[in-house]
Amino acid sequence: MYVAVKGGEAAILATHDLVAEARRGDPAVPEILVAQIREQQALACARVMNEGSLYDQDLAALALKQSQGDVIEAAFLMRAYRTTLPRFGSSEPLDTAAMAIRRRVSATYKDLPGGQVLGPTYDYTHRLFDFALMDEGSEAAPRKAPAPLDATMPRVPDILGAEGLMEAEEPPEGDPRPFDLTRDPVSFPADRDVRLQSMARGDEGFLLGLGYSVQRGFGGTHPFVGEVRVGEVAVEFVPEELGFAVDLGDITLTECQMVNQFQGSKEVPPQFTRGYGLVFGHSERKAMSMSLVDRALKARDFGEATNYPAQQDEFVLYHADNVEAAGFVEHLKLPHYVDFQGELELIRRIRKEREERLAQEQNAMPEAAE
């Protein structure tokens, strides 16, 4: 008898080997170490931690190594691992006012308590290649700060808030535990905890584009960077059986608070409103984009029109997730020949019927005079 020739499984296994070979590249070049990625590609690791929703620098570095530097694939690895981890509970709210600052800039005040701290930033590098990096052995000289930073650095929105000019951040009634979109399905309209969570793990490029669209007029906000701060914050956890907070360690965070105008309403005098972004690691672009879109998504709360994509929660939340988006876009590679056959059958039949109809009409028509 005749049987179908099958090779699916062998072909799949072969792809795994080929990927491993491609990942390693030229074996004459030394293999990259996870620690090297963690230490020397920290901004890429931060992006993987954000979009993978898991703060673990070693795993982020491993994910980047395993994915050949494909950030979305790396975030996918992080998430697929994260989903299997047991949960012990939720940490105490983080206090970013108590952040050990590495960088802090405000665009709204020339000077303020704690001052402007430029810290490590590409902002003022001229984008000229440093060809010295082509060679190994480049050693950065450790810099010592000329003077220790101020111990307290109030957050700019808090300064405005003390004057009553800033929209207050009130927890929702009863201060419920925040929604967890990795455990429960989202419904719309989505509350702010859901929106912020979704954006924190959302694609940096997507949020950047949306934030930019707001600036260009597709969403009517007029943002100022109240403050961007980068540094280390302690994570504390209260175990049920102890009843007091235990310090779990520090994580690096970037926080951005945008200050926007608001005309006020009958009940509320004119005041500034807030766009908020908080992300893992040093990720200013992401935090800023997030805070632009956060403010845009508040449009409904302030009775503003919601005509543009950045103001529409369902649009932003469903499309910000790059792991989901990548999966669905890339699934188009899968066989679809059953459905395509249906389309072929239809289009051939409609064309055939059309030709027959036209031929009939042609025959029915009297001969045209020549």
Burial 320-351 (b: 16+ CB within 10 A, else e): bbbbebbeeeeeeeeeeeeeeeeeeeeeeeee
For residue 350, what is the enclosing H or E element? helix 337-364
Q: Figure out which of the listed residues 126, 337, 363, 369 binds another protein, where binding follows CB under 8 A.
A: 337
Q: Figure out which of the listed residues 123, 184, 241, 247 binds another protein, where binding follows CB under 8 A.
A: 184
Report if residue 6 touches another protein, rule: CB under 8 A.
yes
Report if residue 150 touches another protein, rule: CB under 8 A.
no
In the complex, the smallest distance separating the C-beta of residue 301 from another protein, rounded to whole angstroms, is: 16
Report if residue 17 touches another protein, rule: CB under 8 A.
no
Q: Figure out which of the listed residues 177, 183, 216, 266 binds another protein, where binding follows CB under 8 A.
A: 183
Per-residue x/- track, 80-109, another protein (CB under 8 A) = x-xxx-x-----------------------
114 HSE (CA, 13 A, CB side): 22
Rounded to whole angstroms, the Cα distance separating 318 from 313 reads 8
For the segment 198-257, give every residue that binds another protein (CB under 8 A): none
Q: Identify any residues that bridge with 274 across adjacent strands, giving them in sequence order.
A: 259
Structure tokens at 82: 């994260």
Q: Figure out which of the listed residues 43, 68, 152, 188 binds another protein, where binding follows CB under 8 A.
A: 188
Residue with token string 């766009």: 275
Candidate segments 32-40, 163-171, 187-195, 204-212, binder of another protein by CB under 8 A: 187-195
Candidate segments 62-70, 111-119, 295-303, 345-353, binder of another protein by CB under 8 A: 345-353
Contacts of 101 by beta carbon, 8 Å cutoff, 6+ apart: 114, 117, 119, 149, 153, 229, 230, 231
Rounded to whole angstroms, the Cα distance separating 287 from 202 reads 11
Q: Is 255 helix (H, G, I), strand (E, B) or coil?
A: strand
Candidate segments 134-142, 208-216, 230-238, 326-334, binder of another protein by CB under 8 A: 326-334
Candidate segments 115-123, 144-152, 184-192, 209-217, binder of another protein by CB under 8 A: 184-192
Rounded to whole angstroms, the Cα distance separating 264 from 332 reads 48
Query: Which parts of this chain interact with another protein (CB under 8 A)?
Result: 1-9, 11-12, 76, 79-80, 82-84, 86, 182-189, 314, 323-324, 326-331, 334-339, 341-346, 350, 353
